[in-house]
Structure 1
Amino acid sequence: MRVILSNPPYEPHLQSEHRWPCAWISHPAAPVPPFVTAYRCSVVLNTAGRIRLHISADERYVFYLDGEVIGRGSERGTPELWYVETYDLDVLAGEHMFVAVVWSLGELRPAAQTTVAPGFLCSPQEPEYQQMLGTGIAPWQVKLLEGYGFALDPYLPPPYAFGPGQVLDGRKLPWGYEQGAGAGWVDAHRDAYAGVRYNRYGFASRLEEPATLPPQSTVLRRAGIVRHIDDCADDARVEVQQHREDEALGWDQLIQRDVALILPPQTTRRILLDLQDYMCAYPHVTVSNGEGSVVRIAWAESLFHDRSLSEKGNRHIIHNKYFRGYQDTFVPDSGGQRHFTTLWWRSGRYLLLSITTGEQPLLMTRLQLEETCYPLEQETHFTTNDIHLNSITGLSLRTLQMCMHEIYIDCPYYEQLMYVSDTRLMCLVTMVITHDDRLVRKAIAQFGAARLSNGLIRASVPGMHSQVIPSFTLWWVGMVYDYALWRGEPEFVYQYMPVVRMIIETFLARINLQGLIQVQEGWNFIDGVPEWEDGNAPDDDHSRITGMNHWQVVLALEYAAALEEWIGEDELAQRNRRLQKQLAINGIETFWVAERGLFADDCSHTRFSEHTQCLALLSNTLPEFQRTSLADTLFTSPDLTRMTISFRHYLFEACALLNRPDVLLKLLDVWYELLANGLYTTIEAPEPTRSDCHGWGTHPLYHQFATLLGIRPAEMGFGTVVIHPRFGSLQRLSGKMVHPSGFIVADLVRTDEHLTGSIELPDGVTGWLEYADQQIELRSGYQKISV
């Protein structure tokens, strides 16, 4: 059983020894990665007992006890935050075999995977078990697992950053290694002690920390339905007239009921499976015999209209389309009940099972999927009288689930990277639908530790690249602000305030002689607008001055000032307010175009976008006349550069600020089109999109609660609440939203100009209801509403 520790292990021991009692171990003759190793240790217990083990590996592990999977790890982190899982195992008296399968992919590893050096760590808490099971102390043995191969697919469009496809050759694999069986085991080499923080030469290469998250959720699923069977090549077009309908029943029975299926010798088959949902999962295939056969499983989010892999069309349609996706290859031997799976999960909606048999028939007895994601529990509900609006809830929630794992990820199919901009929006959604904010806290911590020498933070962590996107650094300040606003916990927030201040100073250092913020060095991505090169805000005159950049800094100062006020740093807050006010004045003088009632994107007033208007509005610095003007021009100017799906969050925030639910409801058409186009998740960008599942498109779920139902914190820490329902064309808004002290429940009905219903607040929480220019005091507990 996994245990989450609140404090590091061995604290008394660390005070005297400055290290853990156990050391990392590795293969004494390990080759250059990629390779897979198995570690084993046999113990005999005279009595039953509970053993607490702290387990980690570089890069990743699967841990077994007597052939049964106990857990996976290590939780994705960085060398500065290297996570160690803790397990409490109730073990009977007798002989037991502990095994860890560890893989090190080196240069082929996923972009989000960090590494120091291949190795394994098993450190028991109790001294009596350290001699039996402690790595560097107990007689652990290791061997290289032949049969594992890895390859990048050269035909898939970049960037594919999730790692290589896997080739598992059953003819070479030493079957039974999970139970410690077979020959070829050698004594492991002892490496550095764990738990060392620093020595006279500097910090240790890994700074071990207790894992912060619960185990990932795993659920066995059936592998969808059969959509097509033929004997064509993998890259051939799917044509329904070639479908082998007579074979569909056999495959359906294998998938749905585990009824064995035999493929005769010298057979080629291509089976297209539709999962009828988006899924992240480990594939599980069990076969017997079939030496000379090859089984390939490829994953795709959609089929494509042409070989250029750009246009997808309706995702339900497969006829006259091409399948292309990343694949894993399994090569059976002549043995019975051979189980094949992958080391890391795969993702998508469609599976292409491609099989060729040799001289022997192949008996297939199992084809299942082990779905995996963060164990997100939605504790809320939102409903309206509009069934179309209700349907967006499921779309957004499924996307969030598929983008929550050991980190938030931008997309499960392509990069699997935690970017600041994407993560901020997913954190907001998380905080309104569940009390579990452990992944939110981890994201803030990971980015806070990813500081660079130029005063910015890395755009994505963890990972092998030091990518810099300056606007994302500013959005991290927003993440800290969001957490303080929606959750409170000043002790947690306080430790990241030095990083907030560093960021603010870094951008203030870019003020030019005209009092405007110059763009930082790096990839200045704002939004994936098709007309913008690489998503950069246009800088036609090469002045390195843009309205978007300037107003985002003004907005970040608003966040920083509110944080400083909340933690009692009034002088720093006042400084931020003073600088914010002056920068806002300079921004108005430079970018405001009175005859249009809009802010320009550039100093020459040639470009205008929704982005600049919203950032200026949300900065809370504009005079009333400009807010009034933007309340019209933002929504009616025909030539504004439009936001894509991610940045619309900030347009929706502007809708809340300007009380324009009618606009917000209309802008949701983008999400309705996704459903009509056969999608189960939100896409990355306007069609033709790359990713069919992208976390930054989940924010309508947040706005259902925070903007339409209108429940928001009235102060930092959510001690009081303001409820401002925005109906637009709706008649009813009803929902239950999480609060740090419980739940806020509202059921409100609008009839003509009257509002009726009920509101329930947690104990100790008060606030007010805003409706039709009235403010009604709200107390803790249940109350009827009539306005």
Structure 2
Amino acid sequence: MGRHWSQDTDWIWSPNWDERDHVARFVQFRKTFTVNKVPEQCIVHVSADTRYRLFVNGRNVAFGPAKSHLGEWNYETVDVAPFLLTGSNVVAARVLRYSPFYSGNMSMMRGIIPGYILYCSNIDISTSSSWKCKVDDSVKILSTKDWNPALGPSFLSVSEDVDGTKEDRGWLGIEYNDSTWDSAVNSTMKVPMLPILDPWRLTERSIPHFPEIEAKFSSVARCDVESDTVRWHHLVQSNEAVEIPPNTQKTVVLDASTLTTAFLQFRLQGGAASRIRIRTAECFERPSESPMPNPFARNKGDRADASGILVGQDDFYTIDRNMPADFKVSYEPFWFRTFRYVELYIETSSTALRILQLGYRTIHYPLDIKTQLSHFPSPDTAKTWEISLNTLRNCMHETYEDCPFYEQNQFAMDARLQILFTYQLSHDDRLARKCMQEFYASRRSDGLIETHFPSPFPGVNIPCFSLYWILMVHDHMMYFGDANLVRRYLGAIDDILNHFDQRLNENGLVGRFAWDVWPFVDWTREWSDPASAKGDFRNLAVPPAYHRTGVATYNSLIYAYALQKAAELCAFIGRHDTGVEYRQRAMNLNNAVVKNCLRGNFLVDGPDSPDEERSQHCQVFAVLSGAIYGDEARNILLRALTEQSGYARCSYAMGFYVFEAAHRTGLYDQLRPMLLEPWSAMISQNLTTWAESAAMPRSDCHGWSAVPIHDVVANVAGLSPGSPGFKTIRFEPRRKHWEIMDGTFAIAGSGVVRISWAPGRPIEFTPDFDARVEVLGVNGSGAVYQIASGETLAIRHE
């Protein structure tokens, strides 16, 4: 049995520590050391609970650990040799610890004890009592009671209130005197002669390190003194200092032009005791007309209308009251912020404040996008594509995130779509594999997975989200064909399906779930009236039929759909008998739905529902599960999607499944313009990322809404896996929706395909690898071709 590096170093922490009264606190660690000759390579492994930023000689070298869970607690591996000097050196870490006694940041796990660990084999800097440490009392992480309720629940707990007078300036440098700091102590749960381990099972980070890219604000959106606008513009564009006189109040709003995720950076001079409020916001909006602040009451229209207000998260920085007029200081919040606009409200005291620099560093998962389009049918089509990419980019960090501004939680339903969009753009499945593994690790005793994970506490479960994890695994099979991955997860898939099977009622339909879950279906207006929630959010986004009887048609249909996908997973790895069982169960469910819920030209939301209780969701998933098919399916879906009233309507995220159902019934060509209308409406409102839903106007950036990526790749260009691992490419181009096509498209695990067409020219398909292609929807439909790398298949189209 090999020896792990963590056995040769210690987890350490501050001896002066109490986290019962703080949602989160920072601890600073330092170690000075001497290097006689800088080595060619100096590898360190580093981690902390909960977050760290590592510095060598004042230079940032690592940020982590990547989010995960205690059973696979990430550490980073970094070569620090480029940052070392001959002679004296210092390695330092700033660690943010979230208390296990408070909800704190809901996307970050934490152990029952804090810790920081670093190991280096060729220089004596591994963590031990030789490190010095100090609790940083200059920063207060704002708690839930300081949160603006208009933003909804407080999920992140990252907002800071900094007292510059208490800051340890220069502590990252070699010359800093740390003689008054404490010696670090060992932080461990281990007890001699007892088989007890520390909370963290260390696992090397599986995703790449993220670049932090310098960026500038594009303009000044608003300034309280209009004549000052030019000066602020020169500051953000050219670092020309702005001076704010003593005893002055100043407000300015900076525009990043598009919503982004980034670390804000400030460089300041003088201004003793000045206070700066930094408000980050996704958009401009109108004041709510509701007397009770809540996310449903947000009044959003033109997101770029600078006459509106900014509702957002606030950070505060108070400059050292003893700051000399010529002294300079830098400030940046520890965690990234999400913003399109940043409002600064500045109050100076008795001395002038000079702002020397004001910018940010963007941070996103470094996705290598291979799918590139060089021609668009219209400016709005180009906008739709770019906004979709920007939405997905801002929801990809160390996990897939539902939204970067409010929650940064990885939800199974959201992530299923985000991962699929990733496959359609890139060959990189590392974040997807991490996501699937994390949900696998979250399994509960009832067979379900957690609805969102990683998370420090058990969450209210949405049972059907576990079914979307099955779809996630199926997608990976189709795009990458990894049999070992499918084998690993098939047991958990069977547990999920068994949970639903145990819920079947006497009619063969999925019945009521456990009392403490949220039977969420979708954020649709008809199901999302806060007044009907009766103080419990679990009553929202749920068909009324479920509230009455515990039966919602959708639950049976999505279960049947997942059973069919699970059957395909079984077939892929040779478990045919289990696949046959799953198909039979799906058929039984579909038959029960048709018998109990089909009312002529539509399905109702529950077996006891009046005709008025019907939704697009049930019609869509009846098509996808095969409960209805042929002309009947086509007519039922067409009616549900084209009638202006009478159906609860699908949200942006559910729009993906609407597109799929339209394709399956042959309605796609007829309905595509109408299906894209929600995204056209968002463009008209000047969004730069796609919103969460029309019914819930909280988030302006939600990854599940980047559906146009799938539409362009799978429906217009017509590329999808025809067999597991993309061994066969299904090619069904639709040139009527894109007059001139010229683009390269990622084919997972293989390479890229160039697709082009234009009026009077054939459709051309050119892979950069040997490809097997099944052509559908054009002349020679259903024909299969074997195309050598670099060769072009030319298809004439009538």
The reply to whether TM is greater than 0.5 is: yes
Measured against aligned partners, the alpha-carbon deviations of 1:9-62 in whole angstroms (never above 9, x if no partner) come to: xx7214xx9x62212101012122432111111222232211111100111111
Change beyond 3 A, Cα 1:70–1:540: closer
TM-aligned CA deviation for residue 111 of structure 1:
1.0
Task: Name the CA distance, whole Å, in 2 between partners of 1:484 and 1:712.
Answer: 13
1:190 is aligned to 2:186? yes
Residue 269 of structure 1 corresponds to 250
Give the alignment partner of residue 499 of structure 1, picking from 492, 495, 498. Answer: 492
Residue 663 of structure 1 corresponds to 671
TM-aligned CA deviation for residue 208 of structure 1:
1.1
TM-aligned CA deviation for residue 384 of structure 1:
4.4
TM-aligned CA deviation for residue 738 of structure 1:
0.8
Residue 647 of structure 1 corresponds to 654
TM-aligned CA deviation for residue 480 of structure 1:
0.5
Residue 216 of structure 2 corresponds to 222
TM-aligned CA deviation for residue 538 of structure 1:
2.5
Task: Name the CA distance, whole Å, in 2 between partners of 1:56 and 1:570.
Answer: 44
TM-aligned CA deviation for residue 543 of structure 1:
2.3
Residue 68 of structure 2 corresponds to 77
Q: Is the 8 A contact 2:412 2:451 kept in 1?
A: yes
Residue 324 of structure 1 corresponds to 311
Task: Name the CA distance, whole Å, in 2 between partners of 1:744 and 1:568.
Answer: 31
Task: Name the CA distance, whole Å, in 2 between partners of 1:624 and 1:218.
Answer: 52
* Bigger mean CA offset, 291-300 vs 756-765: 756-765
1:529 is aligned to 2:524? yes
Residue 603 of structure 2 corresponds to 599
Residue 3 of structure 1 corresponds to none
TM-aligned CA deviation for residue 177 of structure 1:
1.4
> What secondary structure is seen at the aligned counterpart in 2 of 1:64?
strand
Residue 779 of structure 1 corresponds to 786
> What secondary structure is seen at the aligned counterpart in 1 of 2:55?
strand
Task: Name the CA distance, whole Å, in 2 between partners of 1:20 and 1:202.
Answer: 14
TM-aligned CA deviation for residue 691 of structure 1:
0.9
Task: Name the CA distance, whole Å, in 2 between partners of 1:268 and 1:399.
Answer: 35
Change beyond 3 A, Cα 1:658–1:749: farther
Identity of aligned residues (%): 24
Q: Which amino acid in 1 is paired with 2:77?
A: T
> What secondary structure is seen at the aligned counterpart in 1 of 2:526?
coil
Task: Name the CA distance, whole Å, in 2 between partners of 1:189 and 1:151.
Answer: 28
Give the alignment partner of residue 762 of structure 2, picking from 748, 756, 760. Answer: 756
Alignment of 1:347-362 (within 5 A): 347-362=338-353
Residue 357 of structure 2 corresponds to 366
Task: Name the CA distance, whole Å, in 2 between partners of 1:710 and 1:636.
Answer: 24
Give the alignment partner of residue 341 of structure 1, picking from 311, 329, 332. Answer: 332
Q: Which amino acid in 2 is paired with 1:658?
A: T
Measured against aligned partners, the alpha-carbon deviations of 1:758-787 in whole angstroms (never above 9, x if no partner) come to: 102343320211124722332223222214
1:477 is aligned to 2:470? yes
Change beyond 3 A, Cα 1:772–1:45: closer
Task: Name the CA distance, whole Å, in 2 between partners of 1:701 and 1:343.
Answer: 33
TM-aligned CA deviation for residue 737 of structure 1:
1.4
Which structure shows the higher strand fraction?
1
Q: Is the 8 A contact 1:459 1:466 kept in 2?
A: no
Change beyond 3 A, Cα 1:541–1:323: closer
Q: Which amino acid in 2 is paired with 1:23?
A: D
* Bigger mean CA offset, 418-427 vs 733-742: 733-742
Q: Is the 8 A contact 2:716 2:738 kept in 1?
A: no
1:398 is aligned to 2:398? no
1:698 is aligned to 2:706? yes
Task: Name the CA distance, whole Å, in 1 between partners of 2:330 and 2:85.
Answer: 27
TM-aligned CA deviation for residue 98 of structure 1:
0.6
TM-aligned CA deviation for residue 351 of structure 1:
0.9
Measured against aligned partners, the alpha-carbon deviations of 1:268-287 in whole angstroms (never above 9, x if no partner) come to: 10111122111111111111
Residue 445 of structure 1 corresponds to 437
Residue 722 of structure 1 corresponds to 730
Task: Name the CA distance, whole Å, in 2 between partners of 1:632 and 1:399.
Answer: 30
Residue 28 of structure 2 corresponds to 38
Q: Which amino acid in 2 is paired with 1:278?
A: L
Q: Is the 8 A contact 2:114 2:187 kept in 1?
A: no
TM-aligned CA deviation for residue 746 of structure 1:
1.6
Residue 417 of structure 2 corresponds to 425
Task: Name the CA distance, whole Å, in 2 between partners of 1:643 and 1:516.
Answer: 22
Task: Name the CA distance, whole Å, in 2 between partners of 1:731 and 1:682.
Answer: 25
Alignment of 1:510-525 (within 5 A): 510-521=503-514, 522-525=517-520
> What secondary structure is seen at the aligned counterpart in 1 of 2:284?
coil
Residue 684 of structure 2 corresponds to 676
Task: Name the CA distance, whole Å, in 1 between partners of 2:637 and 2:368.
Answer: 38
Task: Name the CA distance, whole Å, in 1 between partners of 2:64 and 2:678.
Answer: 38
Task: Name the CA distance, whole Å, in 1 between partners of 2:597 and 2:733.
Answer: 33
1:177 is aligned to 2:175? no
Alignment of 1:139-150 (within 5 A): 139-150=130-141
1:110 is aligned to 2:105? yes
Task: Name the CA distance, whole Å, in 2 between partners of 1:666 and 1:494.
Answer: 41
Task: Name the CA distance, whole Å, in 2 between partners of 1:441 and 1:572.
Answer: 25
> What secondary structure is seen at the aligned counterpart in 2 of 1:80?
helix
Q: Is the 8 A contact 2:278 2:316 kept in 1?
A: yes
Task: Name the CA distance, whole Å, in 2 between partners of 1:750 and 1:445.
Answer: 47
Change beyond 3 A, Cα 1:68–1:221: same
Q: Which amino acid in 2 is paired with 1:599?
A: L
Residue 315 of structure 1 corresponds to 303
What is the TM-score when the length of structure 1 is the normalising length?
0.91
Task: Name the CA distance, whole Å, in 1 between partners of 2:690 and 2:575.
Answer: 41
Residue 11 of structure 2 corresponds to 24
> What secondary structure is seen at the aligned counterpart in 2 of 1:281?
strand
Measured against aligned partners, the alpha-carbon deviations of 1:592-615 in whole angstroms (never above 9, x if no partner) come to: 223x2x222210342221111111
Q: Which amino acid in 2 is paired with 1:563?
A: L
Change beyond 3 A, Cα 1:628–1:165: closer
Task: Name the CA distance, whole Å, in 2 between partners of 1:449 and 1:135.
Answer: 29
Task: Name the CA distance, whole Å, in 1 between partners of 2:283 and 2:380.
Answer: 24
Q: Is the 8 A contact 1:679 1:692 kept in 2?
A: yes
Task: Name the CA distance, whole Å, in 2 between partners of 1:540 and 1:97.
Answer: 61
TM-aligned CA deviation for residue 209 of structure 1:
0.7
Change beyond 3 A, Cα 1:369–1:729: closer
Task: Name the CA distance, whole Å, in 1 between partners of 2:653 and 2:271.
Answer: 48
TM-aligned CA deviation for residue 200 of structure 1:
6.7
TM-aligned CA deviation for residue 410 of structure 1:
0.8
Q: How many residues align?
A: 748
> What secondary structure is seen at the aligned counterpart in 2 of 1:681?
coil
Give the alignment partner of residue 304 of structure 1, picking from 279, 285, 303. Answer: 285
4+ residue runs over 4 A deviation: 198-204, 727-730
Residue 252 of structure 1 corresponds to 233
Q: Which amino acid in 2 is paired with 1:270?
A: T
Give the alignment partner of residue 159 of structure 2, picking from 162, 165, 169. Answer: 165
1:121 is aligned to 2:112? no
Q: Which amino acid in 1 is paired with 2:664?
A: L
Task: Name the CA distance, whole Å, in 2 between partners of 1:728 and 1:555.
Answer: 31
1:134 is aligned to 2:134? no
Q: Which amino acid in 2 is paired with 1:418?
A: Q
Task: Name the CA distance, whole Å, in 1 between partners of 2:197 and 2:511.
Answer: 36
Change beyond 3 A, Cα 1:290–1:541: closer
* Bigger mean CA offset, 277-286 vs 179-188: 179-188
Q: Is the 8 A contact 2:107 2:455 kept in 1?
A: yes
1:294 is aligned to 2:300? no
Task: Name the CA distance, whole Å, in 2 between partners of 1:728 and 1:642.
Answer: 27
